[in-house]
Structure 1
Amino acid sequence: MTDYGSIPSKNPTTPDRSYSLFGERDKSQTQLDDAYRFTLYSTASVTVHAQTLGEIPPRGQTLSKMLQAGYFWLDVLAPTDEEIRMLSQVFRIHPLTTEDILMEEGREKCEMFLNYYFVCFRTFVLDPNSHNYLQALSVYTLVLPGGIISYHFRPVPHCRNVRKRIRHLKERMEVTPDWINYAIIDDIVDTFAPLIRQVETEVDMIDELVLILKESEQTDMLRRIGNCRKRVMSLLRLLTGKADVIKGLIKRFEGRVGRKAMGEIGLFMGDIQDHIITMLQNLSHYEKILSRSHSNYLAQINIEMTQASNETNDVLTKLTVLGSILLPMNLVTGLWGMNVPVPGQESEGLAWFFWIVTAIFMAAALFVLIARKTRLL
């Protein structure tokens, strides 16, 4: 049995918090000060929230006795390096696992050890107004025979949702560490469903509008396609490794404890795996639709540009023909308007004038008729 006696029962001095330039630890200390960093759920007592480990046990009790009373779940928000090392020492966590948590390992995986198994599962920033929206966040879980420890370096809603789910189901089922680990993974996967539905709606709209909108209405279509493809690629990046983690978790768990002992947890994990595979297939399909819509949009733009160029060329051709028709008129009128002797200047009547004008109009009509026949006008 694990000896929990080395867990401090009094408030330790708050250690300095170290941050990695490449990690997920929230550098906003004000936000962390407003949140409870430690939450202890136990099947034998009520849920306790505290800022430090020493604040968890009520007066007259010790934390070690609370952990040994029943199945427990210790959720830790933004742990310091000292807290991670201390808990790893108490629960006999392998140094490789401790290093993964300290280094904030981002690769999703499941590793089996003699007295526990370690799961790294990624969620993301859910606030659409945040500049870090859809940024990956890792949740680390250590599933022990008598309990589970979860670490995350930024506030996430999943642990709160799982505790709420436990309150509704604890009267009808036994809450075990394996089930809590499943519930955390299930809640993380469920957060992808609304986003995928939004992407599906946006993809359908883009696919329908890309070929029917007029040029004046297509000003933001390229931006919409780009933003939607960016979101699809972000979701694919977040979901890609999850199916392998679930598959490895089921396989290693079955190989360790046998199919019968796995019970309903195996069915639940299989259901999560089906959901992940379905989401990946849908996102891959949406990416193909967006790629086709992008090509169709560019083709539509090329067609419109070609049509505009053809219309411009047609107008220039007609102007050229009209200029060719008007040029002889200007030549005739220019010759008769010069201050030199011209035919008909000795005549007192207007006969020459009318014949010249008539000849000009007849020549123009002839040229227009020829242009019409040759489809130049």
Structure 2
Amino acid sequence: MRPDNGLSSLQDPDQEGSCTPKLDALRDGRKQIRSNHVFPTNNSSSNQPGINRFSMFISLSGTTIYTSRLADLTLLAPSSDGSFGAGMAGEIWWLDVLNSTKEDIKTLAKAFSLHPRTCAFINAEDAHERVEFFENYYFICFPILTENENGTLKSKFQKVNFHIVVFPQGIISFSFQHNSHSANVRNRIWAIRNDTVLSSYWICYALINDIVSSFDSAVHKLEQETCVIEESAFISRLDEVGATVSKIHNYRKHASNMAHLVQDKVSVVRSLVRHCAKAHQGAPLYDISLSLSAVQDHINSMISKLKHCEEILSRSHSDLISQLSVDKVYLRNQTLRIIIRITVIAAIAVLLHAICSLFGTNFEVPGEHTDGLDWWFGILGLIVFLFFLGLGVARQYKLI
């Protein structure tokens, strides 16, 4: 049953309908710290009934709290020692926020001492990759890729902001459009819960890896379309060349946009690799650094594939343009030949018309008073003879 306090569920990542036995204990604990929590109990601007905009993952119990109100997370309010929630020291937590409002960000900034620059970047609508390191956390802007539901390359790819704030014991993620990245990472945590030492840095790596992996399907689809274009470049009919060139132009535009989206993420991952390679709390985060290095290699691999697609499309585009130019020259020559033939035939016909004009004058002409059609057939035969004679001379000089 749905709790009355606004919590939609407290559950495993892959079981969104079952509550865990720890719900009663969490309710009791929330009553104990309600007096000194920093979250507002009544925030109408951030309340959206029916939409679970907040999800809270707790490592020790392996559960996730889904709620539509930030006030319902008072149990997990930051304590004075910087841990998230009284009595939860040593646990790894993850707060995922969907479509955060300015009031939500202001409240979280007060609770976690976020720098005003961080809040400004989260509130900003422009999606640019960046990573900034502060005293007690580091902030990452790692936009995600979105496309239309039809999934075709004709759809426009665009960036949607995705922010990550990483603390030593927890992480806050901000997304501004429904996506599957957070759910995928929670399922991955649940799948490898017994094989991996969970940390906030590992969750950050898992989110970045899932976002980068989301580009694979689009890149693979572009590779397939590129192969089809390359194979059909030299077998396109003349009436299909124009449509094929337009299609290549669209594919090149998508390849360029995707390369730009992926290229911007290299600097962020490179900075994180250097940061994790340094000593942190007495021990270098070599495992996270190696994992992020693998993500960096994945990005470089996708960039290489996109560049290869761009080269193939560019070559196919040049070949089709050359083929189109050759076809245009051929058609122009054919048109000139037809015009020359028509001109020669018209010139011969005009000269033969002079014979008809001479016998059509109003003075006496030969054969005028002669009965029969001998003169008529004679004149007609002369005209036909001169016509074919003119054609023979024109063909002799290759005019037709």
Q: TM range, normalised to the smaller chain?
A: 0.7 to 0.9
Q: Does residue 95 of structure 1 match 2:116?
A: yes
> Aligned AA for 2:68?
Q
Measure the CA separation in 2 of the matches of 1:97 and 1:72. 20
- From 63, 66, 70, the equivalent of 1:53 is 70
Measure the CA separation in 2 of the matches of 1:93 and 1:5. 23
SS in 1 for 2:149: coil
Partner of 1:176: 199
Larger mean CA deviation between 107-116 and 348-357 belongs to: 348-357
Q: What pairs with 1:290-329 in structure 2 (closer than 5 Å)?
A: 290-329=313-352
> Aligned AA for 2:233?
V
SS in 1 for 2:234: coil
Residue 202 of structure 1 deviates from its aligned partner by 1.7
Partner of 1:373: 396
1:101-160 deviation per Cα after TM superposition (whole angstroms, max 9, x unaligned): 233563212222232222111112244359995221121111111111111222221001
Identity of aligned residues (%): 30
Residue 171 of structure 1 deviates from its aligned partner by 1.9
Partner of 2:55: 39
Change (3 A) 1:349 1:7: same
Measure the CA separation in 1 of the matches of 2:34 and 2:322. 68
Partner of 1:24: none
Contact 1:124–1:136 (Cα < 8 Å) also in 2: yes
Residue 180 of structure 1 deviates from its aligned partner by 0.6
1:67-119 deviation per Cα after TM superposition (whole angstroms, max 9, x unaligned): 53611111111222232222223223333323322335632122222322221
Partner of 1:278: 301
Residue 348 of structure 1 deviates from its aligned partner by 4.3
Partner of 2:189: 166
Residue 335 of structure 1 deviates from its aligned partner by 1.9
Contact 1:140–1:151 (Cα < 8 Å) also in 2: yes
Partner of 1:234: 257
Larger mean CA deviation between 93-102 and 42-51 belongs to: 93-102
Q: Does residue 262 of structure 1 match 2:285?
A: yes
Contact 1:4–1:91 (Cα < 8 Å) also in 2: no
Superposition TM-score, scaled by structure 2 size: 0.80
Contact 1:6–1:90 (Cα < 8 Å) also in 2: no
Measure the CA separation in 1 of the matches of 2:147 and 2:377. 87
> Aligned AA for 1:195?
A
**How many pairs are equivalent?**
359
Q: What pairs with 1:46-125 in structure 2 (closer than 5 Å)?
A: 46-56=63-73, 64-65=85-86, 67-68=88-89, 70-104=91-125, 106-125=127-146
Contact 1:15–1:82 (Cα < 8 Å) also in 2: no
Larger mean CA deviation between 364-373 and 129-138 belongs to: 129-138
> Aligned AA for 1:74?
L
Change (3 A) 1:342 1:133: closer
Larger mean CA deviation between 138-147 and 208-217 belongs to: 208-217
Measure the CA separation in 2 of the matches of 1:58 and 1:258. 28
Measure the CA separation in 1 of the matches of 2:279 and 2:234. 56
SS in 1 for 2:94: strand
Measure the CA separation in 1 of the matches of 2:289 and 2:326. 55
> Aligned AA for 2:51?
A
Contact 2:145–2:214 (Cα < 8 Å) also in 1: no
- From 205, 208, 214, the equivalent of 1:185 is 208
- From 195, 210, 224, the equivalent of 2:247 is 224
Larger mean CA deviation between 213-222 and 253-262 belongs to: 253-262
Residue 273 of structure 1 deviates from its aligned partner by 0.4
Change (3 A) 1:371 1:229: same
Larger mean CA deviation between 311-320 and 220-229 belongs to: 220-229
Unaligned runs of 5+ in 1: 18-28
Change (3 A) 1:225 1:5: farther
Change (3 A) 1:284 1:332: same
Contact 1:225–1:290 (Cα < 8 Å) also in 2: yes
> Aligned AA for 2:261?
L
SS in 2 for 1:47: strand
SS in 1 for 2:196: coil
Residue 191 of structure 1 deviates from its aligned partner by 0.7
Change (3 A) 1:107 1:353: closer
Partner of 2:174: 151
Measure the CA separation in 1 of the matches of 2:350 and 2:282. 97
Residue 4 of structure 1 deviates from its aligned partner by 11
Measure the CA separation in 2 of the matches of 1:126 and 1:93. 32
Partner of 2:25: none
Change (3 A) 1:68 1:79: farther
Unaligned runs of 5+ in 2: 1-32
Contact 1:7–1:90 (Cα < 8 Å) also in 2: no
SS in 2 for 1:337: coil
